[in-house]
Each structure stands twice: as C-alpha cells, then as structure tokens.
Amino acid sequence: MDQSLRKAIAILEDLGEIHYVDRPVDPLYEIGAVMSLKSRGPSQVFSNVRGYSMPVAGNLFNSRAKIALGMGVAPERLQEACLQAINEGIAPEMTEEAPVQECFFESPLDLKRMLPVPTWFEQELGPYITAGIIVAKDPETGRRNVSIARLRLEGGDALLAGISPSHHLSRLMEKAQARGEELPIAVVIGNHPAVLLASQMYVELGHDEFDIAGALLEEPLRLTRCRTVDLEVPAEAEIVLEGVLYPGDLKDEGPVSEFHGFYEHYGPGQAVRIRAVTHRKDPIFQTILPGFAPEHLLLGGVAIGATTCNALRKVIPSVRRVLVTEGGMGRVHAVITLKEPRAGEGKRAILLAMAHTNLLKFVIAVDDEIDPEDPIQVAWALAARMQGDRDVFILPGMKADRCDPMERDLMITKVGIDATTAPGERGPEAKYQPVHPPREVLEAVRKDLDLY
C-alpha cells in the first residue's frame, strides 16, 4: 500500500476533512494564528505561502478518528491496533525506490530559504520544525530510535534541538558524548500517520519504532538509505534533512511552548548541523501546531494511552482501555476502563498507571460500559459510583515530570478516583437497578432504528 502522507491526506480529503487555503499566508505567525483558530474540524493545506513554492499542511490528525482513518483503521479499533503493533511489530524492509530522494541538495544550505517553517508564538525565538521525526542509532548497539523533538532554524544549515532529558534521544546523545563522537541524525518531515504515531510510543530503548509503524501499516515500512549519513528513512516521506547532532554544543533556547499551553524555560538546546537535504519533486511541508492544540495532544495521548494500557493488561486482565484525555493535555489525565473489576482492582490499576507513566497524575477508573471518550459518561460514573472517603485517594510527594505545570521541585501530588461499581452494587442484588424499556422492545427498535 501507499505509505505516504499524501495518501493519508487523500483519504481525509474524500471525507471532506481537508480545507485548502489559497489566500497568501505568512509563515511568520499568520499560519500559526490560522491553525490556532481552526485547530478542530477540517485540516488545512496552505497552498500559497509567502516566499515559498512548497505548501504547508497542518492540523491533519487533530482527532482520534482522523488519526485512525488516516491509517486505514476503524476509529473504534485504534487502541487495539496500537496494542497489537507494540507487541507484534513488523520489521521494515529496504528499497531503492525512494520518492523522498527525487531532489538532492548539499551545502551550502539555507534551510530558511528552502523550507516554509512557521514561527508559531510571540515569545519563541524563531521558526520551529514541529512534525519532524528524528531517526538516530544507539552508538553502542546500533539499534534505531525514532522520536519527535522541536527543531529551531538557526540560520544557514544550523538547527537547535530541544530534547527532553527523559527521551531516548537524550540517552543516545549521552552515549555518543561519552565516546567523544557526534550523533548522526535524519529529520524526516511529511510522514504517514502510522509513522508519526509509532514515533510517540513509550517503548523501551532498543525497541525500533519503525517495527511498530510497520504493524500499524500491516506491512513492512519501506526504508531507503540516507545519502550522507549511515541511517535509513521512510522512502515515501516528503523531506529529509541529513545531519549531525553535537552533544556538548549547547545554547540557551529561551522561552518554548509546551503541551500545557504555557511557555517553559528549559534552558539549553543541542546544536545540529544539516549536511544534505533530499525531498520529493513537489514536497508538502507538514507541521503540527505546538502547545495546547488537539493534534499535538492526541498524537502523544493516543500513544501514551496505548503503552500504559499494554503495561496494565499484563498484570490486570480486566483492564480494557486507557484513555489519556485531551482536556488533560493529552499527557497527564487518564480514564481506565475495567470489565467487572474485583474489589480493589480499580485502585490497583490506577496506581500501576501512575507508576508506569510518570506524566499521569489524575486517573479515574470506570466500568467498561462507560465510554471514556465521552466526558458526560465519565462524569456520570463519578456521580453514580464514587464515595468520596472510600474512592478518592491523594498521593503527595510523588515524582513529577518536568513538563507538568504544577510541578514544584520536580514533585507533585497525584490523585486517583476509583469510580468502578463496588462489589454488591452490581447485578440483580444491587440496591439501584438501571431503568430501561423491556429488553425485547429495545432490541427490536434498535435493529430498525433508521426506520423511525
């Protein structure tokens, strides 16, 4: 099958989910402003970017349904598809047929002239590539890692990479530094949603995210060799920047946006130099609106939910889904559904989720007849099932992620609520019985509902 971003865009276009913006737009703040104001609903393809011939696409996978449909997966199967892909990866295969290498450029490179990279927010100090997956290899084991980090254009062939210290790329960088080496990287822009989603999975170091992408595609991801570095990249991507990351070479990044919608001051970023650029003849420049924006929250949130669910199910078989909510920044709030949990199992699942995924700080457990994607149903479960003194528990002094806006000295208070049905409150012996019309009437009407 076609493994390109443009294929996914064509699928969304058929569903009426792509809006072409023909009006001239400026990459300096204007694209960011349009994407902020239209972050939900149809995605944008800006075909007339001032100073560039390359179109800019954004807000492409800004709902769970669009992430799934873009990959050719039924939306209700999204988490199952992720779980299967984590556990049963499909290794990539190599190809010489690489549309992403139709055009080749070497130094001197002026990335700012070549690429329509948006400058997003008032206080950020330059344009940021936000949808570039970074491919690198472990200098000790040769195992591949694929992840996203923000990359700021610094003029000419220079970039500044903002890499979270908890991410694998930081570990690879430290290993390279210990050996006195640079770290070759390839930044791939314009990716199929299976590749983007795979890059966000919280799997162990050495687990190749391209194996996960292959399983999501249900066939090996086709890779091609880079021209100037010893790395392989998706052959059907839009643009590749081949270069080197210099571990010791740091520069203060200034204020940067984060998923919570505030500026952060993380300190130094890593210097990167790009040696070569390859792209298609007519490349699409893909972006993800950073900050508290649906696509940014959901690509991470879907992956965090799937990896957390995978860990939970290994110990608690009654766990059905883990949903990291969009309101909870796609990172810090989760709803776990369980099928007829035993006494105390809801609380156990909550504790495991918080321990497994450091970012999670507010976790609610509900029965599996609650749709965790529906905030009204989750609120109903709280109203119908929660006894405050029994079901709410507060855990002060827990380790925090540095990204959490409530972190103080890297500590935080976590809160869990077990809103599953308590034993004795379920079944025919329960004090409160649910109301409904007679089952046989309900089922008969449901079968022919379209006729009413």
Enumerate binding residues for Mn ion (CB under 5 A): 145, 168
Nearer of residues 331 and 333 to Mn ion, judged by Cβ: 331
Cβ within 8 Å of residue 256, ≥6 positions away: 124, 150, 162, 263, 264, 265, 266
Degrees to nearest 5, angle at CA 46 with 41 and 52: 160
Residue for token digits 């210290």?
A: 165
Strands 150-153 vs 263-264: parallel, antiparallel or unpaired: unpaired
Residue 108 preceded by cis peptide, ω within 30: yes
Task: State in angstroms the smallest separation of the CB of 123 from Mn ion.
Answer: 30
DSSP 222: E
Nearer of residues 169 and 412 to Mn ion, judged by Cβ: 169
Taking alpha carbons only, the member of 423, 415, 416 closest to residue 341 is 423
Taking alpha carbons only, the member of 307, 261, 271, 293 closest to residue 403 is 261
Task: State in angstroms the smallest separation of the CB of 146 from Mn ion.
Answer: 7
Q: Which residue is nearest to Mn ion (CB)?
A: 168
Nearer of residues 200 and 286 to Mn ion, judged by Cβ: 200
Nearer of residues 168 and 331 to Mn ion, judged by Cβ: 168
Cβ within 8 Å of residue 37, ≥6 positions away: none
Task: State in angstroms the smallest separation of the CB of 86 from Mn ion.
Answer: 12
DSSP H stretches of helix in 88-161: 111-114
Cβ within 8 Å of residue 170, ≥6 positions away: 163, 164
Share in percent of the chain as helix, strand, coil (round to 5): 30, 30, 45
**SS3 for 78?**
helix
Nearer of residues 39 and 145 to Mn ion, judged by Cβ: 145
Task: State in angstroms the smallest separation of the CB of 10 from Mn ion.
Answer: 30
Task: State in angstroms the smallest separation of the CB of 115 from Mn ion.
Answer: 26
Nearer of residues 44 and 199 to Mn ion, judged by Cβ: 199
Task: State in angstroms the smallest separation of the CB of 171 from Mn ion.
Answer: 9
Task: State in angstroms the smallest separation of the CB of 70 from Mn ion.
Answer: 22
Nearer of residues 44 and 145 to Mn ion, judged by Cβ: 145
Measure the CA–CA gap between 117 and 285, rounded to whole angstroms: 8
Nearer of residues 47 and 164 to Mn ion, judged by Cβ: 164
Task: State in angstroms the smallest separation of the CB of 145 from Mn ion.
Answer: 4
Task: State in angstroms the smallest separation of the CB of 144 from Mn ion.
Answer: 9
365 forms beta bridges with 336, 418
Question: Sign of the CA dihedral 43, 48, 52, 54?
Answer: positive
**SS3 for 158?**
strand
Nearer of residues 30 and 174 to Mn ion, judged by Cβ: 174
The neighbour count for residue 276, using CB atoms within 10 Å, is 20
